[in-house]
Chains A and B, each alone.
Chain A
Amino acid sequence: MKGALELLQRVSAHPDARCWCVAWSPSGTWLASCGGDRAIRIWGKEGDSWECKCVLDDGHQRTVRTVAWSPCGKYLASASFDATTCIWKKTNDDFESLTVLEGHENEVKCVAWAPSGNLLATCSRDKSVWIWEVDEEDEYECVSVVNSHTQDVKHVVWHPTQELLASASYDNKVCIYKEEDDDWECRATLEGHESTVWSLAFDPEGQRLASCSDDRTVKIWKESTPADGESGSSDESWKCVCTLSGFHGRTVYDVAWCRLTGALATACGDDGVRVFKEDPTVDPEQPVFFMSAHVPKAHGQDVNCVSWNPKEAGLLATCSDNGEFAIWKYNSDS
């Protein structure tokens, strides 16, 4: 039952700066990385090693915090501390800047594409979450600004199948948003973490949400609808069905749920990368996760981001404050 993480390659992607985020393209063949050197780099595999194919270093004036690929793989969105979000379009061998989304008052922390490809969400230290719509002519328009958080919003993520958005904040809460009459509003607030919630990930079916926090835990939340006959609002409520505590030595900065295998990977401030698997014999209403693999010093400094390859099962990318990213192979039975 014990798994293992094998290091395949370590790359010094953003020298003398933090590497904040790594994101696989939907085809699984490209890896985008971004960092404190204000650049985005696109990496492709040549033979056995990952090589830099493209450098986008004139899009932002400050740190690039998150990069995200559109579901079709033709566009890349980058969120920056310069308060803008840049949309890049893939041309033959390069990317060109298509448009720049402005509006946030200060650092944009995260950007995410909805699975439909028509919606984009951004969040910022200005405490707001913005939802943007894209039309056929590649025109972007802001359709909603939601102010449900009372502090810096760290992360936004879309549900894999429904039009539902979740956000995580320095105010220790997670908010769930749905569209109502052409306007997006917060439908549920998940409380339970004792400190900043850094990141979120939905499971492959979209039935559960994983959140990770500065309180060194990972929580799993499940939506529960009121039983028939119960009075009250029709709003669904989310309950915490599992808490993974005692595994992480410091802040957990990122969590990623593999669409292919269901494995849960975490990035931690103690420089470690961990993979958790669900115990299949246990009642799904009260899931139990066990730690399947752990690399204590995966990087020389804090691990900021962890990302599963969408096409190759077990392929994991991680990146760190020391400017490196690493590619790992996870085996669930070693």
Chain B
Amino acid sequence: MSGGTRLENANPLIFQRSGERLLTAADEDEDVADPIDDREIFDLIRSINDPEHPLSLEELNVVEQMRVNVNDQESMVSVEFTPTIPHCSMATLIGLSIKVKLLRSLPDRFKVSLVSSQTQLSLH
């Protein structure tokens, strides 16, 4: 982001990245269709960069796999993301980055819903 004077969150908590996905025998089998699942969506959005810091949304815990819900049959994806601070002014931008990444990566049949939830940390 250009022209920033004050950072929204100068000292964010950094989380550890989870490892790569472990492939099962069914995944490797060409004849079996792999349904799109929570992990696949998470893998698409985890490396999106945060607007303020050279860190990914996963490393700042803005997105986590638990808050991704996919229903391949119904072609629906919902992602709940958590900005690192309450009333984050970049929440809309982060939401849009996630939404556009998914819209461009998923088949046209998918409907993507994004919800921003309040951080669980209270910074009083």
Q: Give A contacts to B, CB under 8 Å.
A: 250, 269-270, 300-301, 321-322
- Is B108's CB under 8 angstroms from A322's CB? yes
B106-117: CB near A (< 8 Å → 1, else 0) gives: 001101000000
B109 contact set on A, CB distance < 8 A: 300-301
Tell me the bound Cα distance from A29 to B108 in angstroms: 32
A322 contact set on B, CB distance < 8 A: 108
- Is A270's CB under 8 angstroms from B108's CB? no
A301 contact set on B, CB distance < 8 A: 108-109
How big is chain B's contact interface, by range? under 10
- Which 9 pairs, one residue from A and one from B, show the smallest C-beta to C-beta distance? A301-B108, A300-B109, A250-B111, A322-B108, A301-B109, A270-B111, A300-B108, A269-B111, A321-B108
Tell me the bound Cα distance from A301 to B108 in angstroms: 7
A-B interface pairs (CB < 8 A), number: 9
Closest chain B residue, CB of each to CB of A321: B108
Interface of A, secondary structure class, is loop
Q: How far is the CB of B56 from chain A (nearest CB, A)?
A: 29
Q: How far is the CB of B10 from chain A (nearest CB, A)?
A: 33
B81-108: CB near A (< 8 Å → 1, else 0) gives: 0000000000000000000000000001
Tell me the bound Cα distance from A270 to B109 in angstroms: 10
Tell me the bound Cα distance from A322 to B111 in angstroms: 14
Q: Could you list some 9 contacts between A and B, CB below 8 A? A: A250-B111, A269-B111, A270-B111, A300-B108, A300-B109, A301-B108, A301-B109, A321-B108, A322-B108
B108 contact set on A, CB distance < 8 A: 300-301, 321-322
Known contacts A300-B108, A300-B109; 7 further A-B pairs (Cβ under 8 A): A250-B111, A269-B111, A270-B111, A301-B108, A301-B109, A321-B108, A322-B108
Q: How far is the CB of A249 from chain B (nearest CB, A)?
A: 9
Tell me the bound Cα distance from A71 to B80 in angstroms: 48
Closest chain B residue, CB of each to CB of A249: B111
A269 contact set on B, CB distance < 8 A: 111
Tell me the bound Cα distance from A332 to B109 in angstroms: 30
Q: How far is the CB of A28 from chain B (nearest CB, A)?
A: 32
Tell me the bound Cα distance from A270 to B113 in angstroms: 12
Closest chain B residue, CB of each to CB of A270: B111
Closest chain B residue, CB of each to CB of A301: B108
Which of A269, A301, A321 is the most central at the interface, judged by chain B CB atoms within 10 Å of its CB? A301
Tell me the bound Cα distance from A325 to B88 in angstroms: 42
Q: How far is the CB of A303 from chain B (nearest CB, A)?
A: 13
Q: How far is the CB of B111 from chain A (nearest CB, A)?
A: 7
Tell me the bound Cα distance from A139 to B111 in angstroms: 45
Tell me the bound Cα distance from A216 to B46 in angstroms: 30
Tell me the bound Cα distance from A250 to B114 in angstroms: 13
Tell me the bound Cα distance from A295 to B77 in angstroms: 22
Q: How far is the CB of A14 from chain B (nearest CB, A)?
A: 14
Tell me the bound Cα distance from A6 to B116 in angstroms: 40
Closest chain A residue, CB of each to CB of B109: A300
Closest chain B residue, CB of each to CB of A302: B111
Q: How far is the CB of B116 from chain A (nearest CB, A)?
A: 15
Closest chain A residue, CB of each to CB of B108: A301
Closest chain B residue, CB of each to CB of A250: B111
Tell me the bound Cα distance from A301 to B109 in angstroms: 6
Closest chain A residue, CB of each to CB of B110: A301
A300 contact set on B, CB distance < 8 A: 108-109
Closest chain A residue, CB of each to CB of B111: A250
Closest chain A residue, CB of each to CB of B113: A250
Closest chain B residue, CB of each to CB of A269: B111
Tell me the bound Cα distance from A53 to B108 in angstroms: 29
Tell me the bound Cα distance from A144 to B111 in angstroms: 40
CB-CB contacts below 8 Å: B11-70 with A: none
A270 contact set on B, CB distance < 8 A: 111
Tell me the bound Cα distance from A321 to B109 in angstroms: 10
Q: How far is the CB of B100 from chain A (nearest CB, A)?
A: 15
Q: How far is the CB of A9 from chain B (nearest CB, A)?
A: 22
Tell me the bound Cα distance from A269 to B75 in angstroms: 13
A250 contact set on B, CB distance < 8 A: 111
Q: How far is the CB of A323 from chain B (nearest CB, A)?
A: 10
